Amino acid sequence: MNVKVIKIGENLLAENDKIAGANAELLRHNGIASFNVMGTPGAGKTALLESLIPELNRKFPCAVIEGDIAGTFDSERLKKLGIPIVQINTAGACHLEAFMLQKGLEHLSLGGLKILFVENVGNLVCPAEFTLGIMKNIIVSSVTEGDDKPAKYPLMYKISHLCVLNKTDLLDLSTFSPEKFNAYAKEINPALEIIPVSAKTGENIDKIVTWITNAVRVV
Ligand code: MG
Ligand code: ZN
């Protein structure tokens, strides 16, 4: 008897890519620049959005789609900024998929928006595998994670356009080597831009604002 092999993973990813294409088209059609903010739990993804959005929103109306396994903690934090926020709870899934973003987009009025931030589920692995149809990938790393992360999670650094290295205010308290981190990351992705910041003190946040502004201008 022949054994029939069903490659579920491949089919799922093909279906995901199809929906991601539709998401990208919808965002492009509305002239919205989109950013997929990824990183480990606690890297400072929400903190980064809290410091960026007040600067950006004056010129470019922002919205956020928040991805979490459960709860609305991050949405509650961002609500203060007075921008549209949609919370997606993945019910256990450790990453966002294109169909989830598609659902989230249905709950936003896209006309007039200029920037969409998607905060992915905190995870360095599968968010890198599932394309969502978003323009730019941002990996938020932090000094407390250690300098070896690009070498251990290469796909995430390979697919990212910008690496925000957060928590530079803690550099003196740790053994983190920015030189090692940069070398590992650049070996995987020579084009990756790495900007060290402190979302807590505001150090270099202006550089991220500039990077995002430049990306918005080409949409
Ligand atoms: Mg968060
Ligand atoms: Zn996952």
Q: What is the pLDDT of residues 3-52, one digit of tens each?
A: 876 666 777 889 999 999 999 999 999 999 999 999 999 999 999 999 99
Q: Coil, strand or helix: which one is 122?
A: coil
Kindly indicate the confidence band of residue 218, based on its pLDDT and cuts at 50, 70 and 90: confident
The yes-or-no verdict on residue 77 having pLDDT over 80 is yes
Q: How far is the CA of 44 from the centre of ligand 1 (A)?
A: 7
Tokens linked to 178: 């920015």
The pLDDT of residue 10 is: 74
Asked if residue 124 lies in contact with residue 160, where contact means CB atoms within 8 angstroms, the answer is no
Q: How far apart are CA 34 and CA 116, in angstroms?
A: 5
Question: Is residue 8 packed enough to be buried (19+ CB in 10 Å), middle (13-18) or exposed (0-12)?
Answer: exposed
Å from CA of 169 to ligand 2 middle: 30
Q: Which residues contact 40 (CB under 8 A, 6 or more apart)?
A: 122, 123, 124, 141, 142, 145, 149
User: In angstroms, what is the span from residue 173 Cα to ligand 2's centroid?
Assistant: 32
- Ligand 2 midpoint to CA 60 (Å): 31
pTM: 0.94
Q: Which comes out higher in pLDDT, residue 4 or 137?
A: 137
**Strand-strand pairing, 136-142 and 62-68:** unpaired
Q: Residue 53: exposed, middle, or buried by beta-carbon count in 10 A (0-12, 13-18, 19+)?
A: buried
Determine the distance separating the centroid of ligand 2 and the alpha carbon of 31, expressed in angstroms.
Answer: 29
| Per-residue pLDDT at 8 | 66
